[in-house]
Amino acid sequence: MGLLQFILISYLGVCGFSYADLSRVEPLAPVIITTEDQAQVSLYHYPGKDPRKSPVVLFPEIGTNRLIFNLPSSGGLAPYLSRKGRDVWVVEFRGADAVPRDWSLDELLRYDLPQALARVGAETKQKNLDLVGLGMGGTILLEYLSSRPNPDPGIEKIILINSPGSTQAVNQAVKIWAEKAQGLGEGDKSELIDLKKACQTPWPAAPGTLFHLLFWGPIADEKTEADVCQSVFEPIPPGLAKQLARWVETGILSSRDGKRNFLINLKNIRTPVLFLSGQLDNLAPPWQADFAYRAISSEKKKIRIFGRANRYQKEYGHFDLILGPDAFREVYPYLFNWLKNPKNSN
């Protein structure tokens, strides 16, 4: 073993990091849920060794599937938490089953999310759950929790990773996407919603393709790019795309028919919440998470911004917080330690 390799391994060991934590593991056979409106939601279980801890439920970003938390080439957050002893469940929303149908946030809030949580509770026989949401997967959690009794007796803690609470000062590329998305028709398969196609198509007002908008500069390697573009992305239905585009244009996230506004009761949230943001996130910059951070009423709440300004090794973008090469050493341990004890996190 060379001196440099020895120093690196010793350093990572001091940080509580082990390469064994990164290796990919396969979940158990999925638990399939058929929702009340006949859509399919899947739960992927990574068993943990500590049954005393609350199960951790992971919710992916819109337009991605379960593999965002367990890349084919390198693993990810799901196996990391499982190897640390936590019982992990990854939710795969409707749309990943290749059944053509239009849907929006309304269906996720009404059917997918509550039925997934209920099923995890039934499978584990645990009264409390810890929730982790990535991107819009976390924004959905905010709306869901704000409309329930608080603190919610069934939810112990929540972590939101690059989850926007507003569309204040959005990136120009996002504005252009929103303008174009308003014209989408049923059955449209353009790069605006076909994210695999968008990986190969120059993105309006962005330095490259959609992939380069999601990651900050050269932080992601070729294997990660291949995994995300080929295995992780799923099409976004036109109804959902138009709903998100309207949020960008009006500043108000609302139901598909526009009759109900979302994220207006964030003050009702009293559950402990941790917000993690990438300093250079092009899609959901830190100030959009800060809006939700200030609005909630939780006594135990914290926002952590990852980037060189806060003495981290790299700048972090939208997906870098969970897939970047330094995320395994800098982000994952912070997230895990906060789940163990929010009081002791720096």
By the 10 Å C-beta count (0-12 exposed, 13-18 middle, 19+ buried), 149 is classed as: exposed
pLDDT digits 0-9 by tens, 44-100 = 999 998 877 899 999 999 999 999 999 988 889 999 999 999 999 999 999 876 666
Sequence-separated (6 or more) residues with CB below 8 Å from residue 126:
54, 55
The pLDDT mean for the chain works out to 86
Task: Decide: 137 and 218 in contact? Cβ < 8 Å.
Answer: no
Q: Is residue 124 over pLDDT 80?
A: yes
Q: Is residue 177 over pLDDT 70?
A: yes
Res. 195 pLDDT band, cuts 50 70 90: confident
Tally of CB atoms within 10 A around 259: 7
> How does strand 40-46 pair with strand 56-59?
unpaired
208 or 2: whose pLDDT is higher? 208
What strands, in cross-sheet order, belong to the sheet with 273-278? 31-34, 40-46, 88-92, 56-59, 129-134, 155-161, 273-278, 301-306
Q: How far is CA 314 from CA 14, 147, 225, 323, in A?
A: 19, 37, 18, 13
Query: Secondary structure of 25-43 in the HEC alphabet?
Result: CCCCCCEEEECCCCCEEEE
Sequence-separated (6 or more) residues with CB below 8 Å from residue 292:
142, 160, 163, 164, 165, 166, 263, 266, 275
> How does strand 40-46 pair with strand 88-92?
antiparallel
Terminal CA-CA length for the chain: 34
Tokens 């308003």 appear where? 182
Query: What per-residue confidence (pLDDT) applies to 192?
Result: 78
- Percentage, residues of the chain above pLDDT 70: 86
- Percentage, residues of the chain above pLDDT 90: 58
Q: How far is CA 304 from CA 37, 276, 278, 289, 335, in A?
A: 38, 5, 9, 10, 10
Res. 7 pLDDT band, cuts 50 70 90: very low
Angle between helices 113-124 and 136-146 (to 10 degrees): 80
Query: What per-residue confidence (pLDDT) applies to 198?
Result: 80
Q: 3-class DSSP state for residue 63?
A: coil
Which one of 46-50, 146-150, 204-208, 334-338 scores highest in mean pLDDT? 334-338
The whole-angstrom separation of Cα 308 and Cα 30 is 39
Q: Which amino acid is at 209?
A: T
Q: How far is CA 178 from CA 172, 238, 249, 250, 282, in A?
A: 10, 12, 7, 11, 14
> How does strand 56-59 pair with strand 88-92?
parallel
Calculate mean pLDDT across residues 292-300: 95
Res. 216 pLDDT band, cuts 50 70 90: low
By the 10 Å C-beta count (0-12 exposed, 13-18 middle, 19+ buried), 328 is classed as: buried
Residue-range domains of the chain with CATH: 20-171+267-344 (3.40.50.1820)
- Residue 89 parent element (H or E): strand 88-92
Phi-psi region of 188 (alpha: psi -120 to 50; beta: other; left: phi over 0): beta
pLDDT digits 0-9 by tens, 236-286 = 999 999 999 999 999 999 999 999 999 999 999 999 999 999 998 988 999
pLDDT digits 0-9 by tens, 89-117 = 999 999 876 666 889 999 999 999 999 99
Question: 157 φ, ψ to 5°?
Answer: -145, 155
> How does strand 129-134 pair with strand 155-161?
parallel
